A and B are shown apart, each in its own frame.
Chain A
């Protein structure tokens, strides 16, 4: 642990967090909104990376953590009258526990079967929530703006939520970093290389996979809670939209799976690209086409993503970045 603190990358992450928090200077709302979206992408991609980049398991339906976290938070605040922090935290824990339960089942599957099962989990949860009246069914739940009062009114609340999301993003990056430098991370990486050989060496694969899956649910769930609280509205179609988890996969692969800086870099670039597309074309769905084309190019020609390319060109970079 102390060893990790001394490495430059620890401080680089800290700098990134400070940059995010400081950039809008407390009043630039447009910049804040775009950075907020980037922070959400980075959170989702970093946590996804634990399963995808480390253990080699593609989670197509990772959005389910985000959506469920959103629903728990909105329900706790809107119906049970809890405050923001308890709602997101309990939501995060609840989703992690659910993830552990689901995970114990589907993590027995390998490769493709697992990937398809994760879509299944997402679709099943979405169908369930759509039919679940206490959570608003297919119409969803609206939050009253009165809930922003304890946080100092709507305008102030949005800033608070932003800073909290930046904090979650930072925690996600640190989590990836500490996991990768830990024994647990070593085990996950070994599983990603060759699960059977790892097991023969003593890596307790079933337990580690379940832990990774559950851990990768926690922060996205909290992020979901914050995100949907901010929008004061949640419905199944938005909460469980596979587009977002698909984009998280593209981002992770683009930046470089298995690295920590990769998802962050990928998220930033992808968001820039998306923003540019939305202003230059009127085709809303073109973003998926571009995402798909990008992913194909990466998978075919640069499976290590951008970080992979950088590391090959400048191997010394590996000592500074992760």
Chain B
């Protein structure tokens, strides 16, 4: 029983990182109604950034986080200008294909350079023992850092002017434009933030598990499952749902082969989309569409 509990708690820790990744997607969706299909590639970019950083400087992996966040932000802004800017206001199919195509390019280049072999970032941290069970230090650290980063994001969104502008644009872009907010810049900024979140969550995942260039797909899927569970456009929901997914994985993995986990997550994804389009958190509220 304690074993299961330990498994669950560990799942929660890892789930927090999933939640962080999902916040990246939900932020971009919420602000500009674009689904970022480069998310997986950006997670992988974060992973490799840490790997290369540690290899080049010999410093501990966690020191890479700051440059990863900055780099991710810049990459996100670039992504906005290259692929997304022209797609704003077009049918959602177009922005979907645009980000999808960038993903193809990035993953293609990645497999060229690094092939499909496993990479690992060596991190040694003392674990936390509870009786017979040890919680890996990396998991605890990752969860803690997630909390810090999420906290920073909230601070930005709710306590700064720029953050308020982001929320305004997410609420109603036209109205925001009318009150003088430079919406295009805010959109680029939000895209930067979303990608930065993807990259940093990738960096954290790299400290937890080995990875390949193709790992992005699986984590992108997990991010989408979490986003949908928490409600598209809802950062708090994303975090909560991430933890929930981690919990689910913690419960399920002792009992079933790994290859099925992905199937279950997919099925969950489709079921939630069909049955609860607003995410599981919306179920409590009364259902009723907005007057059109």
Contacts and interface: CB of A to CB of B under 8 A. Distances in A.
Do A and B associate with each other?
Answer: yes
Interface of A: 56, 58, 60, 105-106, 108-109, 111-113, 115-117, 119-121, 123-124, 127-128, 130-131, 246, 249-250, 253, 283, 285-296, 299-300, 303
Given A105-B270, A116-B224, A127 B262 contact: yes
A288 B96 contact: no
A300 B112 contact: no
Interface of B is mostly: helix
B101 A292 contact: yes
A291 B112 CA distance: 14
A273 B100 CA distance: 20
Contacts of A303: 94
Nearest to A193: B91
A130 B267 contact: no
Contacts of B93: 56, 58, 111, 115
Interface in B101-153: 101-109, 111-112
B257 A299 contact: no
Contact of A124 (B101, B228, B257, B266): B266
Interface of B: 35, 82-83, 86-87, 91-94, 96-98, 100-109, 111-112, 221, 224, 228, 257, 259-260, 262-263, 266-267, 269-270, 273-274, 277
29 contacts: A56-B93, A106-B274, A111-B92, A112-B35, A113-B273, A116-B273, A117-B270, A121-B266, A123-B266, A124-B266, A124-B267, A127-B260, A127-B262, A131-B260, A246-B104, A287-B108, A288-B105, A288-B107, A288-B108, A289-B109, A292-B100, A292-B103, A295-B100, A296-B83, A296-B98, A299-B87, A299-B101, A300-B83, A300-B98
A57 to B, nearest CB: 8
Given A127-B262, A131-B259, A300 B86 contact: yes
A160 to B, nearest CB: 35
Nearest to B218: A123
A105 B274 contact: yes
B274 A293 contact: no
Given A123-B263, A289-B105, 20 more contacts: A56-B93, A106-B270, A108-B274, A116-B35, A116-B224, A117-B273, A130-B259, A289-B109, A292-B101, A292-B102, A292-B105, A293-B101, A295-B97, A296-B82, A296-B83, A296-B98, A299-B94, A299-B98, A300-B83, A300-B98
B228 to A, nearest CB: 8
A292 B96 contact: no
A233 to B, nearest CB: 21
